[in-house]
Amino acid sequence: MQKLITIYLDNMAYDGMTVLKGHANRHGQAEEHLKELLADGWWIVSTCSMGGAADGYSARGWLAVVLERNEP
């Protein structure tokens, strides 16, 4: 069985150590609970980045992660 999760990445998410408002507050947040899935026997099969440079020095995109687990 496989599962696809995405993680939003935004290098403009922080102003020093403070997370800014808007979409930036989702920086690094997995839509699923990656830590719990890995502890539950899932493993990472592949990763792929999507998106990229925006205007200026900012870069926004997603990291797609394919997980796999053998069903009992």
Whole-angstrom Cα distance, residue 14 to residue 9?
11
DSSP reduced 3-state for 62:
strand
Beta-carbon count within 10 A of 27 CB: 17
Give the model's confidence band at 35: pLDDT under 50 very low, under 70 low, under 90 confident, else very high: confident
pLDDT computed for residue 2 by the predictor: 93
pLDDT at 45 over 80: yes
Q: Report pLDDT for 56.
A: 64
Sign for the CA dihedral angle at 42, 45, 50, 52 comes to positive
The token duo for 17 is 């150590």
Q: Tell me: pLDDT of 60 over 80.
A: no
Q: What is the mean pLDDT of residues 22-41?
A: 72
Please state the domain extents for the chain: 2-68
Q: Do 62 and 6 meet the contact criterion of CB atoms below 8 Å apart?
A: yes
**Quick one: tokens of 43?**
């493993």
Mean pLDDT over residues 56-62, rounded? Answer: 71
Residue 66 has pLDDT above 90, yes or no: yes
